[in-house]
């Protein structure tokens, strides 16, 4: 419940927060040098950055960018990985072997390193970063989907469906895959937070969202130069990332308990 509550707050802030921020111009690159690096106050709740922009405003507007990136990454990776894994697990053969060997190649390289390589090849920008991270994360869903489908393809309900004349494709997508979804959905819910973290990391090194668009990773990168004199500059975007990752992990734990009561009893 705590994770769901935090996520709902984040989604509301991302959806309508930019309409009510105190300094909307600061989200589009406005400069106010006379107020640069001001500490948190009633006028600027999270202080100001190196060019006088309100950090609170930019954190709220940046929530939309960061959450959108995380959700799109997971939707792309979930869809591609689940479909490929289901095909590999149910039909097998040379196609299944080719899919799984490709998956193994991707999984031998650390996620962040491979995402950096793809992002560098595609060029900086939010869209390219989402594609780069999705290209890295689909193998995890592929392996999980394959394992679930292999465990279910010889089950009685699948054999019964084939016995009454259902095609193998219909059995896969109508009977087997829906029963394989719960554990994949749990993984997806947990991964959204880490997708936000990964896209922020790419933004931190200059491969993600480009200024002046607010992005939590870019804000942390800009604030590290002023960490001693203006701790708030990078601290508040970091806290936003922390709560996002924590919330989606808590949501994943809750979904696991609901979808797999046996796992709850084991723990």
Among candidate residues 257, 200, 222, the one with its CA nearest the CA of residue 52: 222
Q: Sign of the C-alpha dihedral, residues 121, 126, 132, 133?
A: positive
pLDDT of residue 260: 63
Task: With H, G, I as helix, E, B as strand and everything else as coil, classify residue 243.
Answer: helix
Residue pair 99/142 in contact by the 8 Å Cβ criterion: yes
Render 90-127 in DSSP notation, one character per residue. Answer: HH-HHHHHHHHHHHHHHHTS-HHHHHHHHHHHH-SSHH
267 pLDDT exceeds 70?
Answer: no
Which parts of the chain fold into alpha helices (H)? 2-20, 55-91, 93-107, 111-122, 126-152, 156-163, 168-170, 177-204, 216-223, 232-259, 261-266
What's the average model confidence in pLDDT over 125-145?
A: 93
pTM (two decimals): 0.88
> 3-state secondary structure string, 39-77?
CCCCCCCCCECCCCCEHHHHHHHHHHHHHHHHHHHHHHH
Round the average pLDDT of the chain to a whole number and report it. Answer: 88
Please check the confidence at residue 150 and state whether its pLDDT lies above 60. yes
Q: Assess whether pLDDT exceeds 80 at residue 14.
A: yes
Residue 168 — very low, low, confident or very high, per pLDDT cuts 50/70/90? confident
pLDDT digits (tens, 9 = 90+) for 177-189: 888 888 899 899 9
pLDDT of residue 262: 54
What domains appear along the chain, each with residue ranges and CATH number?
A: 45-266 (1.10.3720.10)
> What's the confidence (pLDDT) of residue 152?
85
Positive or negative, the Cα torsion across 139, 145, 151, 155?
A: negative
| pLDDT for the residue 217 | 92
């Amino acid at each position: 419940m705590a994770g769901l509550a935090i996520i709902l707050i984040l989604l509301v802030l991302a959806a309508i927060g930019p309409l009510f921020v105190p300094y909307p111009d600061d989200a589009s690159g406005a400069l106010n040098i006379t107020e640069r690096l001001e500490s948190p106050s009633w006028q600027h709740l999270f202080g100001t950055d190196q060019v006088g922009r309100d950090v609170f405003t930019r954190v709220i507007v940046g929530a939309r960018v960061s959450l959108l990136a995380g959700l799109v990454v997971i939707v792309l990776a979930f869809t591609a990985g689940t479909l490929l894994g289901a095909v590999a697990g149910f039909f097998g053969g040379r196609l299944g072997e080719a899919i799984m060997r490709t998956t193994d190649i991707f999984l031998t390289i650390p996620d962040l390193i491979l995402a950096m390589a793809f992002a560098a090849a595609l060029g900086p920008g939010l869209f390219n970063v989402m594609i780069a991270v999705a290209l890295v994360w689909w193998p995890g869903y592929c392996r999980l989907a394959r394992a679930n489908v292999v465990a279910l393809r010889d089950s009685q309900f699948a054999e019964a469906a084939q016995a009454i004349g259902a095609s193998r494709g219909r059995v896969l997508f109508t009977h087997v895959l829906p029963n394989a979804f719960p554990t994949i959905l749990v993984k997806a819910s947990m991964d959204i937070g880490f997708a936000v973290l990964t896209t922020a990391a790419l933004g931190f090194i200059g491969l993600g969202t480009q200024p002046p668009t607010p992005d939590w990773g870019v804000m942390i990168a800009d604030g590290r130069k002023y960490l001693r004199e203006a701790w708030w500059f990078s601290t508040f975007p970091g806290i936003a990332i922390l709560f996002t990752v924590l919330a989606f992990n808590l949501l994943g734990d809750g979904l696991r308990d609901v979808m797999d009561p046996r796992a709850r009893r084991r723990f």
